[in-house]
Copies of this chain bind each other. A is one copy, B any other.
Amino acid sequence: MTTRVTCCQIPLRVGDVPGNRATVKAAVEQAAADGAQIVVLPELASSGYVFADRAELASLAETRDGPTVAEWAGLAEAFDLTIVGGFPEDAGEKIYNSAVVVDRSGVLGVYRKTHLWDTENNVFDLSDDLPLVVDTAHGRLGVMVCYDVEFPEWVRAAALQGADLLCAPVNWPLLPRPDGERPTEVVRVQAGAGMNRMPIAVCDRTGTERDVDWIGGSVITDADGYPMAMAQYGHAGNVTADVDLEQSRIKKFNQHNDVHGDRRTDLYRRTTLLD
Contact = CB atoms under 8 A, between A and B. Distances in A.
A273 B160 contact: yes
B267 A274 contact: no
Given A195-B188, A270-B130, A257 B152 contact: no
Contacts of A152: 152-153, 156, 191, 195
Task: Report how many copies the assembly holds.
Answer: 2
A184 B226 contact: yes
Nearest to A114: B264
Contacts of A191: 152, 184, 187-188, 190-192
A268 to B, nearest CB: 5
Contact of A272 (B160, B226, B275): B160
A93 interface: no
Which secondary structure dominates chain A's binding surface?
Answer: loop
Interface stretch (A58-66, A116-124, A209-217): A116-124
B117 A257 contact: yes
A156 B273 contact: yes
Contacts of A128: 266-267
Nearest to A178: B226
Contacts of A269: 274
A134 to B, nearest CB: 16
Interface string A178-201: 100100100110111011000000
A107 interface: no
B157 A272 contact: yes
A153 B273 contact: yes
A168 to B, nearest CB: 15
B150 A195 contact: yes
B274 A274 contact: yes
